Every structure is written in C-alpha cells, then in structure tokens.
Chains A and B, each alone.
Chain A
Amino acid sequence: MGKKTLVPLGPYHPLLEEPEFFKLYCDGEIVKEVIWETGYNHRGIEKLCQSKTFEQVFYVVERICGICSTSHPFAYANAVESIPGVEIPERAKYIRSIVGELERVHSHLLWVGLAGHFLGYNTVFMWAWKYREPVLDMFEIITGNRNSYAMFTIGGVRRDISPEQAAQLLKVLDEVERKTTLLVGAVMDDPVIHARLKGVGILTAEDIHDFGAVGPTARASGVDIDVRRDDPYAAYDMIDWKVITANDGDVFAKAEVRLLEMYESISIIKQCLEALKKTEAGDIKVKVKEIPPGIGIGHAEAPRGEVFHFVKSDGGNSPVRHKIRAPSFTCIPTFRRSCVGGTISDAAIATAAVDPCYCCTERMSHVYDYTTGKHIMSAAELIKLSQEKTKNLKAKLKV
C-alpha cells in the first residue's frame, strides 16, 4: 500500500456547522480510513436532567438539538408517561403528531438545502430554505417559537390548536406540497445530480445491521424500520400512512426517501387536522400527580431515526437516571463504510447524506488501547504525570 496522507476536517471547518473533527486517511485521492473525534460539544445533559424536575427536563432535552426539538421531548414524554401508565387525551395525541411531523417537514427541507449547497447547487439551498420559512412561521403561530417549541408536558401538550390556526396550517401545507413537487422534480430529473449521487456512499443492508443505523439512512438501504409503525405512539396508529423505503443505499436513495417522506408527513398532518375537529377543544392534558418509582423506556422517530430515552424514577420529583441515545450516534459510524473507497470530493456529500447531528450525539470520549484495554492518555495528562513524578522525587529527596 502506498503512503497515506492525513486530511484533517475540523474542529472549525467551512464544511461543518458544528465543532467536529474528522481525520481522513487518504492514498492519493481515495479515502482509506475515517476517524471521528467527538466531545467538543458535550454539555453533560444527562447529568443536568437529573438535577431538574420531571417537568423541567422537557426544556432541557429540547435543547439537545435545535432541529430535533420535538423528537427528544416526544421520546422523553413516552418514557415518563410509561412509568405511571398515563393515557393522554386523544386531542393531545393528534397535536403531538402534528408538531412532530411539521418538524420532519422542516428538517428534511433543511437537509435538501444543505445537500444542494454541498453539491454546489446554491439555488437549491436558497429555495429549500425559502420554502422552509412558512413552516417555521406556522410553528411560531402554533407554539410561540420558531424553534424549541416547549409544546410537550407530562400528560399532554401545553397549547391547543384553534380552528383558525388549523385553516392557516392547511394553506401552508398545500403551498409546501407544491414546492416539494418542484424540488422533487429538480432533484430527480437533473442528470448532473444523478451523476454526482448515484453509486456514491453506498451502504448495504448488511452495513446497516452491522452499525445499527436507523431512520432514513436505514430505509434508503432497504431496511424497513420505522418506530412510528413498529411501536406506534401518539396518533400514528390511528391514521393511514406508509413507510417510504428505497433499495440502492446510495446518497440518491437517501435523498429520495427524505423527499418522499415529506409528502407522507404532510398527509399525516392533514389527517390529524381533520381528526382534531372530532375531538373536544381544550381537552389537551391530563393531570399527573406524581411519578411512581420505576423505569420508563420511550422512543420516537426523529427526522434522522429513532430517538431513545430511558428514565429511572425513585418516586421523587426528578429522574435519578436519564439515558439518551440519539439517531446520529449509530448513523455517524457508517462513514467508515460509506466514505472509504470513495474520493475526497465525495466524502462531503457521503457524510452529509446521513444528516448527521453532532450536538445530539456528543459524549465524553476516553481512548482505550484495543488490545490491552489500558487508558490512552493525552499530552496534557502525560505532562501532569511527569510533573507529579518530579514533585514526588522532590519530596523523597527533601530538596
């Protein structure tokens, strides 16, 4: 094998929105190995959650990630409500689904824009983000904020959707649906996009099983998983929708899955809005007096895949253990299959294809030697160790 060259990406790199560090080991132009270094964005949220009350944790988990700011509260709500076994009102279920699917629409539009930007199609970037704005405005009308919606609470939701808002939302959805068709046409019919994306960053179904990848990443490789259908929560088992899959596993398939999922989301929201009319206005919350001791497990399908929350309660007013697993945690390691063997110029779109969200995934990293299991120290730790030895020697020699 020839000489390997290291191409560092990050921690601050024009390609990346967030502080992340990738080491691409290249032989010529071909990527041979990808190493991902994490921990820059680690904020200690699991520990922080244990110092908040059950109600307050919603607003902390919402800020794990700005784009998935419904998915985390969704999964947390499922987890906490499973401890006392609360059944939330039907209207709250529909409202939860509406907010969740609206988020999927805005997240997928955002991804389409960013992918266009990475490919050099800045017009797609501007268009997709322009069409995303009405969705954010709708969020502001329904929940009071463009991002971080603070919509969820234990036992239901905090705000109702009025008939006027529903009518407005329907109008926006029709507009978004038209624009989605436009974007689908722009992506599916462009020969350059076909040439850039087909056959790039291929993940086979076997790769998906090896890494445990979830969400659109898995569905684009023919793995038919979706928490919304497999373990229905909120209103997903009360309405009619289907899971979108593709078989090629390349970046094009992932784009296809996301674009077509937007149609499904729009259809889900429309059905939910229709169903809202049949339920009584204002019946959006049941009172939950206390969370008994026990463990709760909840998951939800975020735009990027399955979000998993584990909550342990001892009967007090705050969780004693809160464990979070975001979808990007399993999707990001697939870079080792999708980027390796491709060129450096394809690495950008192959990494962007899983829609990685680093702030969801961040955790402390400790490096251990694979063979001996010993902790590998950083330079600062080695210097500290060396200084300590001198100090001990000084004490011993009484200098």
Chain B
Amino acid sequence: MGFKEKCFKKSLWVFHMSAGSCNNCDIEILDCLTPKFDIERFGMKLVGSIRHADVLLVTGIVTRKLLPRIKEVYDQAPKPIVVIAIGACACTGGMFKDSYTFKGPLDTVIPVDAYVPGCPPKPEAMLAGVVKFLNKK
C-alpha cells in the first residue's frame, strides 16, 4: 500500500474542477451526491475550495486558457492529494484531441492517480474508480 492510500482511509473531501468539459461529467459528479447514489453516506462530500480537499476530480480537456489555472489549482492543493481524471476528455483528450486549443491529456500537466473513462462515466463507474483506487495494494 502506497503512502497516498494510507493517508486516505477515512472520509474523503472532494473538489471538483471542470476544465474544458461539456458539463456531462460535472452533472454526473453532482448526481453522485443526490439521493439515488448518495456518496455522502461514505463520508465523501464536495467542498468549495481546493484548500479543503483530499481529492481533485478533473473533467474535460486541458484548454490553452485553462492550462496555467489548472497548474495553479494543483499547486494550491494540500499535499498529498489524489487526482482523478473523470471522463474520456480528461483521460486522453477524447474527440477533442485534434482541437487547436487542446494542450495534452491531463497527465501531461499534473500527476494523475486514477482514470475513470467513459463519455460520460456513469456515477457507478466513478464510485467504482474511487473504490478501486482505495483498495489498491
């Protein structure tokens, strides 16, 4: 078990950062909070500031204008922090990989710990991603 997994055995606080995304993944992340999926029963909750967060969820492609901002948000995060790339765009660039504002997949900008592919990934897939990461040996 790595250092990060050891740190995050208890309730996780999540900050959600939408890079150049189409809203789909963001809505599905919010869906995780609502009664049907209700991740708050595991002690996870969305926080308003990166300075309170244990987990950084990033959705969407890294656009030219957002590149410095994503780096800044990552620098402001208390370390250690788990970065999870949500959706095909954040993982690889998806269908926007040929766009002129595309500045590389997320892992070329900041270190990424887990990838949840899908367009958009279902809330179940996001929960499964987090569980898999925490059970990593």
Contact = CB atoms under 8 A, between A and B. Distances in A.
A399 B21 CA distance: 48
Given A65-B23, A146-B122, A357-B23, A14 B48 contact: yes
Contacts of A357: 23
Contact of A17 (B23, B31, B34, B35): B23
A105 B49 CA distance: 32
Interface in B23-49: 23-28, 30-31, 34-36, 48-49
Given A41-B19, A65-B22, A147-B27, 14 more contacts: A40-B66, A40-B69, A41-B20, A41-B63, A43-B96, A44-B99, A44-B101, A51-B98, A60-B95, A63-B22, A69-B24, A146-B120, A147-B24, A359-B21
A67 B27 contact: yes
A17 B30 CA distance: 10
Contacts of B34: 125-126, 129-130, 133
A43 B24 contact: no
B61 interface: yes
A48 to B, nearest CB: 5
Interface string A1-44: 00000000001101001110000000000000000000111111
A110 interface: yes
B3 interface: no
B79 interface: no
Contacts of A40: 20, 63, 65-66, 69
A133 B20 contact: no
B63 A66 contact: no
A277 interface: no
Nearest to B31: A129
Contact of A47 (B21, B49, B99): B99
Nearest to B48: A14
Contacts of A146: 28, 120, 122
A44 B103 CA distance: 12
Contact of B27 (A41, A47, A60, A66): A66
Contact of B61 (A39, A43, A66): A43
A64 B24 CA distance: 10
Given A43-B63, A67-B27, A129 B22 contact: no
A245 interface: no
Contacts of B65: 39-40, 42
19 contacts: A14-B48, A17-B18, A17-B23, A17-B26, A19-B18, A39-B65, A40-B63, A41-B19, A41-B20, A42-B65, A43-B63, A43-B96, A43-B102, A47-B100, A63-B24, A126-B34, A133-B31, A357-B23, A359-B23
Query: Which secondary structure dominates chain A's binding surface?
Result: loop
A148 interface: yes
B17 interface: yes
A64 B22 contact: yes
A39 B67 CA distance: 12
Interface residues of A, number: 35
A284 B120 CA distance: 26
Nearest to B97: A48
Given A41-B63, A126-B34, A148 B98 contact: no
Nearest to A365: B65
A59 interface: yes
Contacts of B99: 43-45, 47-48
Contacts of B18: 17-19, 41
A66 B69 contact: no
B134 interface: no
A51 to B, nearest CB: 6
A130 B63 CA distance: 33
Interface string B37-75: 000000000001110000000001101011001000100
A387 B25 CA distance: 42
Nearest to A125: B34
B128 interface: no
Interface in A51-82: 51, 59-60, 63-67, 69
Interface in A114-173: 125-126, 129-130, 133, 146-148
A45 B120 CA distance: 18
Nearest to A51: B98
B119 interface: yes
Given A12-B69, A146-B28, A41 B35 contact: no
B100 A44 contact: yes
Contacts of A43: 20, 61, 63, 96, 99, 101-102
Given A126-B34, A133-B34, A148-B120, A66 B20 contact: no
Given A19-B18, A47-B100, A129-B35, A11 B119 contact: no
A64 B20 CA distance: 10
B96 A110 contact: no
Contacts of B35: 126, 129-130
Contacts of B20: 19, 40-43, 359
Contacts of B122: 146
